[in-house]
Structure 1
């Protein structure tokens, strides 16, 4: 297989291209499963090496081909290039560009849609147990499901924004997984055939061309409804909207708390912050600040807030922001997360400061990929 992986320090003899027959273990965060193969240690013939393997399912017996790895690495990466004993959840990928050494845009084209959601659920639960230190028997985890969202067609035709490589002459391509190599793609099956709608519950939002907006058509309304249900805003409550984007959550929270209540929105992107001012215009006592969230909170708005909504990028809020939020003593925090590991880490940080996870929902906003969106409620 042709590979052009990211440059990294060489740690010994390369194992790229080697093949092993192996039983596939559990799913891991990132769109792959855990496989163990002989480590080739002459001093310990029982030693094994973890290979994070794509294009497979737990319980399958496959032939794994190593795509990244040397003797000195803690783990290797690989692709399942032959399936000797398939899972009952395996399906023929609907996209002809999916598979080993093909387009890297999707992780689970080979998995039935219900089983994809089960895999994502396993990942969310594992992250919450490992990083947030929750019990596996916690009712919030035991009752959790990854919920489908209206707006896709059997997991396809939902992505309203994508990044393609321009190949010239009207052709375009996608990169292979962890590679700069490009494969021409004439029809991406997860790409929406309709432009993105920026109208939510009858409210039209201004969004910059190419600016951030949820890519699944059903996401904005589902997330707004979930945040409102969890926070249960009351008239007169002060609201802090962090990583506010163009003001999606702030717009509806401001309506709930009323014209006399305070709402502060903080957004790191200056263009989005400017659009948030427009989208929130006409609502009394609304302020929008552009700048790094931790930096803005370190300088301004050092007063109590009743409600906080957090919608951080993939790396999460982190301690600096969590500490600033807790210092404002909100009664409830709604945390919208596109990465379960970052969410779990931040839930643990909130727990250190006396905030308990009291509600958790997960949504399949990115079918065919490993990504999953969660909304969590934290209360004092």
Structure 2
């Protein structure tokens, strides 16, 4: 195998996506596993002659940043592993500096894509989550591949190579305690693991078979008390409607509790990944949205009703909350979770189409948005703007799409009155932003 070329580079500023930016003979190189200011040797991982930019991984550090620390996970450490797995790309950086870098990325995206001027806006710092001193053990949802030997495995950034793993330090301890890394998953294509963020003793394992009968065999390896379910269709998912879950041991759902409210989450139905995220985001959305009794509010991309439920209770029987979600499995969870609140209308469909109808029939006072990483599209932004709502609370897991959508909303008569960022993905480049837009 031909050895990839290496270069000695001085790393520049942080960029969105977990990279630093370096330059070599006029060529831009996006480098992973470094820290701005370091002098390093990198191995080129993508260096086509006609490419607009190259990609590289740090393999040796000559002048280390004061913020560099030993990586906590060998499998994800580029200095010890040729093809480091993804999921902990900031593990070599102190948590405090990780948050500083994320704040810099958010500010850069808002100025470049959002059209905001640094001199006119005080960009926020990234807030740490209470009780997360080391940033480990926070993931309540995990997804694993299975290698040719039947062992759990993960792949690296832009890589199809699987690396068998014997731990995942970011995973919730209850997931690690099941012993799944020592098990044989031959005949299984994918393994999903989830634990209730409000009940550490309840773990759910989801198995996607590549060979009939493999799921039942794999399920017998788990200790008593672990719930195991299998998808009835190869490659299918209960969340996307292409498959149904069959409980093999225990049940195929988890019970979550947030601010005193109960939620049932089935299989792969969407739920916030960080163990504290559902509570943190619910508290902030309610405080920023300020729902009043009798108001009518649309909760777009509502998932299982995390925000819809407290919003519906706040507006009371005199008000209305429209909980809109496209995924059939997650929509079914929302119907179950909101079934006792007659002021809650749970609607499945494309957000822009449903919102158009809702805005035609109701006088909306506010909109809550929690879209997937891609953000909202132009049509959704247009429908939100046309609805005439006085305030929009936008929850985002991607600073680039949030910045782009900020420009779309400000062009339709709104201004970003408040923004905050929470570090709900420690040791990764991801962050969670919440913005409050008000009608000018």
The TM-score, its normalising length taken from structure 2, stands at 0.78
Distance 1:152 1:178 in 2: 29
Superposed displacement of residue 140, structure 1: 3.4
The yes-or-no answer on 1:23 pairing with 2:20 is no
In 2, Cα distance between the equivalents of 1:232 and 1:373? Answer: 20
Deviation at 1:276, TM superposition (A): 0.8
Does structure 1 retain, via aligned residues, the 8 Å contact 2:303–2:330? yes
Q: Distance in 2 between matches of 1:205 and 1:169?
A: 37
How do 1:157-172 residues align onto structure 2 when only pairs under 5 Å count?
157-167=137-147, 171-172=151-152
Q: Tell me if the contact between 1:151 and 1:158 (Cα under 8 Å) persists in the aligned partners.
A: no
Q: What pairs up with 1:134-173 in 2 under 5 angstroms? A: 134-141=116-123, 144-150=124-130, 152=132, 154-167=134-147, 171-173=151-153
Q: Post-superposition shift, 1:168?
A: 6.8
- What's the offset of the Cα at 1:83? 0.6
Please report the RMSD computed on the Cα atoms of aligned residues, expressed in angstroms: 1.6
Q: Is the contact made by 2:8 and 2:42 (CA closer than 8 Å) also made in structure 1?
A: yes
Query: What is the aligned partner in structure 2 of residue 9 from structure 1?
Result: none
Aligned length: 356
Q: Deviations over 1:106-160 (max 9, x none)?
A: 210110010111111110000011111111123431xx11111136451111111
TM-score by length of 1: 0.90
Residues in 2 aligned to 1:295 and 1:331: alpha-carbon distance in whole angstroms: 20
The residue aligned with 1:42 is: none
Q: How does 1:195-274 map to 2 (within 5 A)?
A: 195-197=195-197, 198-274=256-332
Structure 2 SS opposite 1:162: strand
User: Equivalent residue for 1:50?
Assistant: 28
1:61 aligns with 2:35: no
Give yes or no for the alignment of 1:296 onto 2:372.
no
Provide the secondary structure at the position in 2 that maps to 1:81: strand
> 1:152·1:216 contact (CA, 8 Å) conserved in 2?
no
d(CA) in 2 for partners of 1:76, 1:295: 41
1:80 aligns with 2:58: yes
Deviating more after overlay: 95-104 vs 168-177: 168-177
Q: Which of 373, 381, 387 pairs up with 1:322? A: 381
Q: Measure the CA separation in 1 of the matches of 2:170 and 2:29.
A: 28
Question: Which consecutive unaligned segments of at least 5 residues does structure 1 have?
Answer: 3-15, 39-47
Higher relative contact order (CA 8 A, sep 6+): 1
In structure 2, the partner of 1:178 is 158
Partner of 1:207, secondary structure, is strand
Q: If each structure's strand is expressed as a fraction of its own residues, which one has the higher value?
A: 2
Q: Runs of 4 or more off by more than 4 Å in structure 1?
A: none
